[in-house]
């Protein structure tokens, strides 16, 4: 069992280039990859997605890639003097038109768009692509390790709630037969208080049988036991089990609702409330299972 929550960072460098990959994952119904790259790094998008698909099964994945040239002198400052003169001339004309004889200084001109540009060394796409794969592999490895560790804690918590749900089911199972017996006793006592004599025993038995049929929860308890058994089996399973467990939780909740509606008994009703509380706790945790 693995969680869908994790993070990881990978870094690789070679031939004057360095690539850093940061991954952050949270729960999601499917594998959803969020990757945004600047125009000059778009060639990394598809290879990066393929790498992540191969390494992770489910979850929303935020991907951050950074490429840096580590060589000294890899950047060059370029100056467009013709554009700077054009800016200065335009400023002079505007000043004459509005009666302002001030002219822009060197600092002002350097801040004008296009006057100063930073030219980067041409990217070695083959090297960067290879480094990207290495960095992603390292980051994915860290994510998987964290997910596995989180999965251990998830399993322990789920096991605790499953045990509690099983104990509540057992209490309901023990209590269920007494409901019909108590109904018969109360019915006989009520008839006695009303002074009704000579009640047909067969008619009384039929009434009790109808009550027993209306509040029978044997099938629901049996299916609930089966669901709990399957859930415990999934605790030790590998692969994508979160969706299967989520489906079982829905079925468990359905059985609990049916038991609550059929069993006309205050004690069972209270056990059902407690059972549904445990099922809800299970449901919340299962949303994080891969």
Instruction: Find the angle CA(110)-CA(115)-CA(116) to the nearest 5 degrees.
Output: 75
What CATH number does domain 151-286 carry, 1.20.140, 1.10.3470, 2.40.160, 3.30.519?
1.20.140
Q: Which residue has the higher pLDDT, 129 or 261?
A: 129
As a whole number of angstroms, the distance between CA 91 and CA 97 comes to 10
Q: Which has more confidence, 238 or 166? A: 166
The pLDDT assigned to 201 comes to: 66
Average pLDDT over residues 109-137: 86
Is residue 199 within a helix (H) or strand (E), and if so which, with residue range?
A: none
Domain spans, the chain: 6-72+124-147, 75-120, 151-286
Residue 212 phi, psi dihedral angles, 5° rounding: -60, -40
Share of the chain above pLDDT 90, in %: 54
Look at 16 and 211; give whichever has higher pLDDT: 16
Helix axis angle for 218-234 and 242-262, nearest 10°, is 160
Tell me the mean pLDDT in the region 41-58.
95
| pLDDT (0 to 100) of residue 133 | 96
Q: Calculate the average pLDDT of the chain.
A: 86
Q: Are 217 and 259 in contact (CB under 8 A)?
A: yes
- 202-259: per-residue pLDDT in tens? 666 666 566 655 667 888 899 999 999 999 999 988 888 999 999 999 999 999 999 8
Q: Is 35 helix (H, G, I), strand (E, B) or coil?
A: strand
**Per-residue pLDDT tens over the stretch 71-108:** 765 566 778 888 888 988 888 888 888 877 777 788 88
Task: Report the range of poorest mean pLDDT among 22-36, 81-95, 116-130, 152-166.
Answer: 116-130
- CATH number listed for the domain at residues 6-72+124-147: 3.30.230.10
% pLDDT > 70, the chain: 84
- What pLDDT, on a 0 to 100 scale, did the predictor assign at position 108? 84
Of the candidates 47, 59, 71, 77, the one whose C-alpha atom is nearest the C-alpha of residue 23 is 59
C-alpha separations of 145 from 23, 239, 277 in Å: 13, 14, 31
What is the pTM for the complete model shown? 0.71
- Give the model's pLDDT for residue 99: 79
pLDDT of residue 96: 81
């Amino acid at each position: 069992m693995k969680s869908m929550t994790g993070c990881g960072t990978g870094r690789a460098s070679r031939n004057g280039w360095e690539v850093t990959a940061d991954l952050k994952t949270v729960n999601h119904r499917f594998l959803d990859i969020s990757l945004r790259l600047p125009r000059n790094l778009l060639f990394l998008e598809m290879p990066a997605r393929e790498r992540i698909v191969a390494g992770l099964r489910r979850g929303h994945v935020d991907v951050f890639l950074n490429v840096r040239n580590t060589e000294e002198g890899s950047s060059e400052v370029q100056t467009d003097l013709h554009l700077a003169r054009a800016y200065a001339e335009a400023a002079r004309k505007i000043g004459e038109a509005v009666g302002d004889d001030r002219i822009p200084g060197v600092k002002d001109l350097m801040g004008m768009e296009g006057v100063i540009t930073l030219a980067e060394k041409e990217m070695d796409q083959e090297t960067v692509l290879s480094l990207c794969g290495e960095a992603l592999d390292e980051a994915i490895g860290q994510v998987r390790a964290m997910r596995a560790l989180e999965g251990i804690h998830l399993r322990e918590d789920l096991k605790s709630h499953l045990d509690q749900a099983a104990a509540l089911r057992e209490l309901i199972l023990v209590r269920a037969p007494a409901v019909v017996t108590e109904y018969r006793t109360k019915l006989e006592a009520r008839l006695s208080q009303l002074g009704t004599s000579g009640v047909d025993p067969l008619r009384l038995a039929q009434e009790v049988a109808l009550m027993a049929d209306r509040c029978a929860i044997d099938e629901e308890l049996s299916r609930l036991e089966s669901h709990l058994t399957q859930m415990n089996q999934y605790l030790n399973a590998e692969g994508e089990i979160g969706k299967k467990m989520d489906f079982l939780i829905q079925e468990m909740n359905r059985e609990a609702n049916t038991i609550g509606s059929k069993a006309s008994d205050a004690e069972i009703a209270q056990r059902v409330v407690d059972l549904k509380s445990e099922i809800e706790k299970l449901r919340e945790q299962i949303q994080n299972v891969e």
